[in-house]
Amino acid sequence: MTWTIVKLAMIGSTQTVAREYLASGHGAGTIIVAEGQTHGKGRRGRSWHSPEGGLYLTALLKPIGDVGLIPLLGGVVLAEAIHDMFDIGVGLKWPNDVLMGGKKVGGVLVESGWSREKARHALMGIGVNLNNPVPDWLPEATSLSKELGERVDVDAFLHRLLGTLDRHLLLMESDPGHIISAWRESSLTLGRVVDVTDGSGEMVSGLALDIDSDGALLVDCKCEVKRVVSGILDLR
């Protein structure tokens, strides 16, 4: 895909600006990149600490296949780009948190637009801690520069990330299931006991068995296997 990259300074949120660009006629391939965010968005209304030094972007995408796989796609792409560029171990916590040494280094937020029950677009937001300081009040987080012991070239990493995204988007057109396989290979979730708060607020606890073909997590709760389509997950 040919990417049109829009670089901005400190803004509220790349997701918000991406929606504005979409409304003004910009289509798939537009990438909104910010030096920092004052109101970075995380999943389920959570905020994303976004000081200068990190990479914060939203990609306007045309949905391919099941939109439930797009969050998994984002996690796979981010984890693969980090591993390939720095040869450092990373893994995925369902659905799309990227962890290094058990700490979160990046995450993905996907918003889909629908018309007549058909997905028309997807906004894939990616936030990754590169050179930005990680505050003491986020002990569960880390940054690439901290783990590597050196600063990261932000533009070079953006180039690697978009190249990886482009390759996986092409693969999804012919084999959507490859994202499931790639996610499984990097999973830090499967085979672990987990607690998941689903969209209704219900807590689902048990052994994470697998992910379904649509990206849902399958959890063995002893008496039954439950499908969790979305939620906030904690590893035990």
Which CATH number belongs to the domain containing residue 35 in this structure? 3.30.930.10
Range(s) of the domain holding residue 94: 4-186
pTM score, two decimals? 0.91
Q: Do residue 8 and residue 125 come from a single domain?
A: yes
Mean pLDDT by runs of 10 across the 236 residues of the chain is 93 94 92 90 59 95 79 95 95 94 93 66 93 90 95 97 95 87 96 91 94 94 92 91
Q: What is the C-alpha to C-alpha distance for residues 210 and 219, in angstroms, rounded to an integer?
A: 8
| φ/ψ of residue 160, rounded to 5 | -65, -40
Q: Do residue 155 and residue 203 come from a single domain?
A: no
- Distances 24 to 18, 30, 56, 85, 173 between C-alpha atoms, Å: 10, 12, 21, 35, 27
- pLDDT given at position 219: 97
Let me know the angle formed at the C-alpha of 23 by 112 and 4, rounded to the nearest 5 degrees: 85
By DSSP bridging, strand 91-93 and strand 55-61 are unpaired
3-class secondary structure, 219? strand
- pLDDT given at position 84: 96
Q: Do residue 110 and residue 212 come from a single domain?
A: no
- pLDDT given at position 118: 63
Q: Do residue 63 and residue 132 come from a single domain?
A: yes
